[in-house]
């Protein structure tokens, strides 16, 4: 819901998975154990237990490949250099431990946009916003950024929002507005420093 609302506010193209990440996590390459996990936190995922190679290949073909291709095609079709932003949410409690981070701003090798967002955030909110938390590149979560943005030299960032902060329509709209403003201003800051061509978002 937040991704769609941000897309509307930014007039940006949204490419979203049509299935649960437990069926296939489109932010993981096919060979990653977390792409079709047999276990999520402390819970078994019966539908992913003992998947055959044929079943895995079918999911890759029906879920991952169309998503990957749509992201690539969207970036390629942009008339101006696009910006790749991936948006996810995370559970407030993981493995019995309460998470204290509210929003994670994640990046891989290219931290330009993340740096700008993290620099601007403290003056705008009391939320606990951290770099590469609760996940980071070492967890394999930046696959989409690495696959599509880094080879093209595109500005990119991954946003992780704690679920309980976006539990209802009002909080989702408020979060979308906050993140859209932060992202827009961070893009302005980044462009001012590097003076690239005018950016657009996809």
Q: Is the pLDDT of residue 24 over 70?
A: yes
Look at residue 194 in the predicted model and tell me its pLDDT: 62
Q: Is the pLDDT of residue 82 over 70?
A: yes
Torsions phi, psi of 92, nearest 5? Answer: -70, -25
The token pair at 100 is 């204290």
Q: Is the pLDDT of residue 95 over 90?
A: no
Domain ranges for the chain, please list them.
Answer: 2-201
Looking at per-residue pLDDT, the higher value among 63 and 201 belongs to 63
Mean pLDDT (the chain, rounded): 92
Out of 19-23, 141-145, 156-160, 189-193, least confident range: 189-193
- 2-201 adopts what CATH topology? Aminopeptidase (3.40.630)
Q: Percent of the chain at pLDDT above 90?
A: 82
∠ CA 68-166-191, nearest 5°, is 55
């Amino acid at each position: 819901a937040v991704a769609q609302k941000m897309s509307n506010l930014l007039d940006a193209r949204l490419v979203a998975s049509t299935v649960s990440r437990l069926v296939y996590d489109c932010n993981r390459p096919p060979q990653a154990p977390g792409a079709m996990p047999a276990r999520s936190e402390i819970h078994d995922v019966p539908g992913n237990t003992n998947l055959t190679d044929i079943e895995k290949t079918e999911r890759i073909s029906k879920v991952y490949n169309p998503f990957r291709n749509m992201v690539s095609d969207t970036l390629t079709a942009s008339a101006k250099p696009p910006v790749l932003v991936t948006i996810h949410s995370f559970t407030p409690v993981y493995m019995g431990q309460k998470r204290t981070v509210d929003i994670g701003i994640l990046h891989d090798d290219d931290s330009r946009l993340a740096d700008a967002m993290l620099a601007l955030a403290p003056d705008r909110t009391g939320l606990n916003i951290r770099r590469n938390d609760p996940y980071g590149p070492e967890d394999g979560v930046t696959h989409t950024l690495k696959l599509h943005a880094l080879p093209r030299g595109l500005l990119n960032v991954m946003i992780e929002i704690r679920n309980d902060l976006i539990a209802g329509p009002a909080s989702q709209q408020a979060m979308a507005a906050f993140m859209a403003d932060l992202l827009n201003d961070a893009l302005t800051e980044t462009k001012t420093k590097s003076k690239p061509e005018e950016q657009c978002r996809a």
